[in-house]
Amino acid sequence: MTDDSRPSEAAPRLHAEINPVTPFQQNCSLIWCPETMRGALVDAGGEPQQLLEAAKRRGVTLEKLLVTHGHLDHAGAVMDIAEQLDLPIEGPHEDDKFWIDGMPQAAKQYGFPPCRSFTPTRWLKDGDVVEVGNLKLDVVHCPGHTPGHVVFVHRLSRVALVGDVLFQGSIGRTDFPRGNHADLIRSIREKLFPLGDDITFVPGHGPLSTFGQERATNPFVSDRALGIA
């Protein structure tokens, strides 16, 4: 590790392709290690065949599924893909178990195709590291949108996969069961923004942005919005 705790420049950089899925157009990210061409799907919310075809098109061998939180549009296809390819599931934090358990009912409620709940191979907590090929991604527990929401950060690539914590010009909803607005603001301001203004993040919906852009302009969580600037 270097003095600023970033990985050595000799380490591989993260490659990614974003595939919107479900009627909610949720950003499912196919990420992979260019050295090994082994990868993972982050938030496989639906349309599993589309996601598997994306991996095949890129020549990526899937080795696991990563989940930021337990909402249907982020995890609805996880069990089907895990079972089909015999893949482990990592994430989210265990505090989202009630959301995952409720996915079959949520699918009926929102008119989604039937889906199954699951138990992750590995629940994640703050400070954990997940490996994809030769990539190492830091796990940051960011409660607020849901209590067990996690974010995946690849420091060398200056990329974060943030699920529904933060969006370009907005933040995650907190009016769902066990959502907490104050927790969400703390997660963004105290856990994500300190990682660096230059980090590009992939949100759960919509276009990419950077922590610096949101810190400067986001009407909910910018320095100005909170009276800091």
DSSP secondary structure string, the chain? --TTSPPPTTSPPPEEEEEEETTTTEEEEEEE-TTT-EEEEE---S-HHHHHHHHHHHT-EEEEEE-S---HHHHTTHHHHHHHHT--EE---GGGHHHHHTHHHHHHHHTPPP------SB---TT-EEEETTEEEEEEE--SSSTT-EEEEETTTTEEEEETSEETTEE----STT--HHHHHHIIIIIIGGG-TT-EEEESBS--EEHHHHHHH-TTTSTTTTT--
- Residue 9: predicted pLDDT: 57
| 47-69 average pLDDT score | 98
The answer to whether residue 228 is domain-embedded is: no
The number of distinct structural domains making up the chain is 1
CB 162 within 8 Å of CB 68: yes
Q: How confident is the prediction for the chain on average, in pLDDT?
A: 95
Residue 226 counted as domain residue: no
Within a domain: 109: yes
Task: Give the predicted TM-score (pTM) of the model.
Answer: 0.95
pLDDT of residue 13: 96
Decide if 174 is inside a domain: yes
Q: Examine residue 59 and state whether it is found in any structural domain, yes or no.
A: yes
Instruction: Give mean pLDDT, residues 177-181.
Output: 97
Q: What is the distance between the alpha carbons of residues 37 and 1, in angstroms, rounded to a whole number?
A: 24
Kindly indicate the confidence band of residue 10, based on its pLDDT and cuts at 50, 70 and 90. confident
Domain that holds residue 120: 15-217
Higher per-residue confidence, 229 vs 227? 227
